[in-house]
Structures are given as C-alpha cells and as structure tokens.
Amino acid sequence: MSALSPDGGSLPAPRAKRALLLILLLGLAIRLVGFTDPWSGRADDFHSHFGAFATGGPATNFAEHGLAESLGMPYDWRLALEDGTYIHGWYSHHPALYMWLSGASVAVFGLEPWALRLPALLLSLFSILAVERLASFVWGRRIGVLAALFMAVLPYSVRHGMQVWTEPAIAGTTCLLVRDYLAWLRDGRLRHLVTGAGWLAAGGLLDWPAHFILPAIGLHALVVCVRDGGWPRLRQTLILPVASLATIGLHAAHMHFAVGAEGSAADRGHTLSGVMGLPEGMELSVFVMRQLGNVLRYCGGPATALLAAAALWQSVLALRGRFDREDWMLPALALPGVMYVALFPGRSHNHDFFLVVSLGYIAISLALAWTGVERLAARALGRSAQTVTSILLVMLGSWCLWLDTVEWFRHRSPQMAELVEEPWLAEWIDDPDAVILTHMGRGMALPFYSRAQVVHSVDRAARLRYLCDTVLPELKTGTRVAMLVDLTWAPALADWPQIEQELRGRGELRLFETEYGPFALVDLSAAVPDSSPTDH
C-alpha cells in the first residue's frame, strides 16, 4: 500500500464514474465562460497574444491558404512577389501539429475566436481525464476523482487550459505516458510501453516540453532494474527515447524541406539566443520569486498552502524511505515544468504558463494532501469530520471558481474587436492583397482579424529600412503597403525616434484618435513598383 494513500483511495467504480462525469461537466461549464470573447489585445494577456497572433496568425493562414504551399510549416505572413513566388515569415521552431488542428477548426467553423479555442477546450478536458486515469491507477479511484476535481477548477488549469497552445495537452500526454510506464513495471507487458511511446510521440509532435519527463523515467527505470536485476527489461524502455528522437527528427526534416537548411539553422540560432538567458538586469532571486508568485496567483492562497504542505510531506516520506517505486513518479511529474522554466528563462520570466505542463503533479498532490486533511479531521472531530471536510472542500473549490472569474474579468476587453471596425483600419485589413507592417503593440493582435498580411515586430529602424528598400520593391505590382503605429506603445521602442524619422521621410503620418488611444498609419506603397500611396 502506498504511503501517500494509506487507505488505498477506495471508491466504488460506479460512484467514481458518476463523479468524474459531473466533474467534466463542471470543467466544461467553467471553460465555456468567455468562450466567444474577442481577443483583448492587452499586453499582459497571453490568451490574446496566442489567439490573435502566435497561434491565430498561422492558423488563419492555414485556413485561408491551405497547407500545401508551405509544406505544412506554420508561418506568420506570406508576401506575393512580382515573379509569382512568395516569401514567408516562418514560425518553424515549434512542431506544427497544434497549428494544423487550430487551422482545421478555423477552416471548418469560420474566423471566430471560439473556433480557435475549440481545440484548446477539448485538450483541456482531455488533461482532466488523463490526470484521473493516472491517479486512479496508482493511488486509487478516490484520489483520481479528487485530482480531476482540482484539475477542473484550479485557475492554472482553467485560465491556461483555454489558452490556444499546447501546455495542457502535454500535461495530459505526460500523465498517460507515466501510467503506461508504471503498468509495464507491474506486469512486464511490452504493449504498455508501446502505448506510452505513442503518448510521448503525440506530446512531442505538439511541443518540446513533452520530452522533459524522459530523464525521470530513465533514472527510475535504471534504479528499479538494478535493484530487481531486470537488465533485459531495461532494454525495452529504449522504445521511449526512440519515440522521442523520432518526433524530433521528424520536425527537423520538416524544417529542412519547408524552410531549407540555412533557414532552419538561422531559426534555431535566433530562437535559442533569445530564450536561454535571463533578461538583462534581472536577478535570479527576482526570477525565482516571480515563478512562485505565478503558483500563488493561479492556485490561490489556500491551494498553494496545501500544495506546499504536500511537497513537504512527500519529502519527509521519501527521506524516511517510505516511498514505494510507483510513488517516486509523483515528484517526477514536476520535472517537465521545472525544466521548462529553468531552460528557457528568456521566456519563462514573463510567460506565466510554463508550469502548466506539470499540472498533473499539482492536481494529484493536492488530492493526496486533501485525504491527509480528512484523516487529521477524523482523528480530531470524530463523526462530524466528514461533514466539516466536505464543507471545506466546497469552499476551496468555490474560491478557485472565484479566482477563475477574477482572471476572466481582469483580461477581457473589447478594444481589438472595436479597433478592427474603425473605417480607416478596416479598409486595409479587409484587403487580402495588402500588407501591413507593425511593431510591438496592439498591431501584434491584428493577424487573426486581418485578411491583409501582417509583418510584425518591426521594432528597429534597420528592419524598417531593410523591408522598405529590399523587400517591398520585390512585391507584386500594385500591392498596397502601410505601417500601423500604435502611438501608446511606440514611444517605448528603443529605436522610436529613428523609426519616426524614417517613416516621415517615406510618407505622411496620418493620425487617428480612438477610444483606446492614438494611432498613425503611414502609406508605404510608393516603395512597390508601379504603386502609389492610396488616395484618400
């Protein structure tokens, strides 16, 4: 019997199934709040960043232009050249599977925010099921139901579970991989490892953190096999790193054929240089406290305290030698999130969702800790303990739901939905043959809404000059080009004085006042052969 679950997590199967169904319905209802909201365009809203730009841009491009032209490689923008070819702004440093799913959903259901959120919704519900499957298998059905409940209501899971990216799905595939690995340890049947390799491959085709559980599984398998004398069995686990390397190789080959060897190398170098180190001036202590603050924010005070107690309790049991071989895979579930944060501090310092890939650890630890609370209450309160702990559990769940609501209200905004309806902007973004340049700011939220191609991150004067002097003259004759300037954000750009001077030398800055601040539009069509600035 596991020291983490001394009572075996007993719960009759029919009751467990009914409870899980109710939890899934609750999780679905929570996640449908804001399901149709427009992307906010707020700088601190990663839902908007991914929905309107990072995922939304490539997904809508796939929906509108298909997969064949780019060989299925995601891209932010494509520019038609005079010779009939295209140049692309590739988004090639992540596997393409999630973009394909998102593009297919938008192609089927239309250019609506909820269509882009639909894969996220389904994968978030999948992660709840996956956590329940692992927890029930190892620590008992009651632990599985409680873990599913925490997975359904924690703001970490609700808020970031509906972010249109891969972390919740990877949390789910990781849990199912661990379950299959432990099933193999129990009965030695190779089919469990084959299924686990399938879950690893599925996660690996979504994004890189899916591979981060492998060191823990490898070390665990090595220790178990050394202790039990099962060296022949250890060789069977090689199917897992083979599956991992196969998915990495598949993406490398995809990059090579779609982007080319030079483009692949440049993309990897540019990406890694920007994510591997802490931002200049940020102290390690500040970085660590920010990560802990994310846990507090997205778990809430009571759940964070319970999680801290659970981690301490697990450490004591482990040091006293009371963990069995399956218990050790619980802390192993924390490794992917910790590695994700630690390996890429250039992103994780402000990407507050990296730990989501370890939601399995958080949800199961909370479930196990809650049963510990129930045992303590039973000793102290006797027959009334069940009533008291049930009320406390409802209060804890209600607090999580309140935090979910707070996060929803904090970020929602109609500004982008209203800005794209402004006539001066609509005439550009509704033109599929136009090109819009934009810098870091609310223009970054245009790709989902724009049928014009949006070339983003024009944050340096040198990049603006390169585009105007080298790229625009090669565009298809008659292509209209403009630079959108968000005057609320632009002054914060390091190169803004030079960018402003460059723009004024190439066209008139037409100013537009909106409810959400001033914008400027500069017609750069004169840089395109046989084109002229739009007559207004």
* Nearest CA-CA partner of 9 in 150, 134, 197, 141: 141
Is 154 in the same domain as 229?
Answer: yes
Question: Does 452 fall in a domain?
Answer: yes
The dihedral over CA atoms of 296, 299, 305, 310, expressed in degrees to the nearest 10, equals: -120
Is 389 in the same domain as 464?
Answer: no
What is the C-alpha separation between 3 and 196, in angstroms, rounded? Answer: 26
Is 406 in the same domain as 419?
Answer: no
Q: Which residues of the chain have pLDDT under 50?
A: 536
Question: Does 69 fall in a domain?
Answer: no
Full domain range(s) for residue 439: 415-527
What is the C-alpha separation between 381 and 371, in angstroms, rounded? Answer: 15
What is the C-alpha separation between 400 and 406, in angstroms, rounded? Answer: 10
Is 254 in the same domain as 282?
Answer: yes
Question: Does 178 fall in a domain?
Answer: yes
What's the whole-model pTM score?
Answer: 0.94
Question: Does 225 fall in a domain?
Answer: yes
Burial class (CB in 10 A: 0-12, 13-18, 19+), 354: buried
In eight-state DSSP terms, residue 513 is E
User: Which of residues 389, 410, 431 is at a domain's end?
Assistant: 410
Indicate the angle between helix axes 97-109 and 56-65, nearest 10 degrees: 60
Is 174 in the same domain as 260?
Answer: yes
Question: Does 47 fall in a domain?
Answer: no
Is 398 in the same domain as 438?
Answer: no
Residue type, 170: I
Q: Rounded to an integer, what is the distance from CA 328 to the centroid of its chain?
A: 27
Helices (H), 412-473: 415-419, 423-429, 461-466
* Nearest CA-CA partner of 154 in 375, 369, 307: 307
Is 391 in the same domain as 438?
Answer: no
User: Which of residues 410, 440, 471 is at a domain's end?
Assistant: 410
Is 207 in the same domain as 293?
Answer: yes
Question: Does 64 fall in a domain?
Answer: no
Is 284 in the same domain as 317?
Answer: yes
Question: Does 66 fall in a domain?
Answer: no
What is the C-alpha separation between 221 and 283, in angstroms, rounded? Answer: 37
Residue 368: HSE in the Cβ half-sphere, 13 Å Cα cutoff: 30
Q: Report pLDDT for 185.
A: 93
Helices (H), 188-283: 190-206, 214-228, 231-236, 239-259, 261-275
Contact 31, 124 (CB under 8 A): yes
Is 240 in the same domain as 263?
Answer: yes
User: Which of residues 377, 395, 410 is at a domain's end?
Assistant: 410
Is 271 in the same domain as 257?
Answer: yes
Domain count, the chain: 2
Q: Report pLDDT for 349.
A: 82
Is 507 in the same domain as 449?
Answer: yes
Output b/e per residue, 246-275; b: 16+ Cβ within 10 A. Answer: ebeeebeebbeebbeeebbeebeeebeeee
Question: Does 102 fall in a domain?
Answer: no
What is the C-alpha separation between 454 and 98, in angstroms, rounded? Answer: 21
